[in-house]
Amino acid sequence: MRSIDGYIDYKRREYCKEVKCPIQSLLNKEVEKSPEYEELRGICASNCLHSTYEFHHWLLEKGYLIVRPKEQ
């Protein structure tokens, strides 16, 4: 998916880094794709410390737009 002209895309884990998620801090110390890294990622995937509500409102506060393509 390409960016919308004049806009920037959300960067992976930008929210996690800004809210200083402790799991993100641990991830930053590991080698990407290592067993330890993947184990920590599993926490994010199945038991995130933050809610989608918090994430959604953070996106809006930062001026992000949530868009999707028009249905064909």
pLDDT digits (tens, 9 = 90+) for 15-61: 999 999 999 999 999 999 999 999 999 999 999 999 999 999 999 99
Asked if the structure places residue 39 within a domain, the reply is yes
CA distances from 65 to 28, 34, 35, 59 (A): 27, 33, 34, 8
- Report the alpha-carbon distance of residue 7 to residue 21 in Å, rounded: 26
- The pLDDT of residue 1: 66
Confidence of residue 3 (pLDDT cuts 50, 70, 90): confident
Asked if the structure places residue 55 within a domain, the reply is yes
- The pLDDT of residue 70: 85
Nearest residue to 16 (alpha-carbon basis) of 8, 26, 7: 26
- Total domains, the chain: 1
Domain, as residue range, for 53: 14-61
- The pLDDT of residue 28: 95
pTM score: 0.79
Asked if the structure places residue 37 within a domain, the reply is yes
- Residue 32 Cα to chain centre, angstroms: 16
Asked if the structure places residue 27 within a domain, the reply is yes
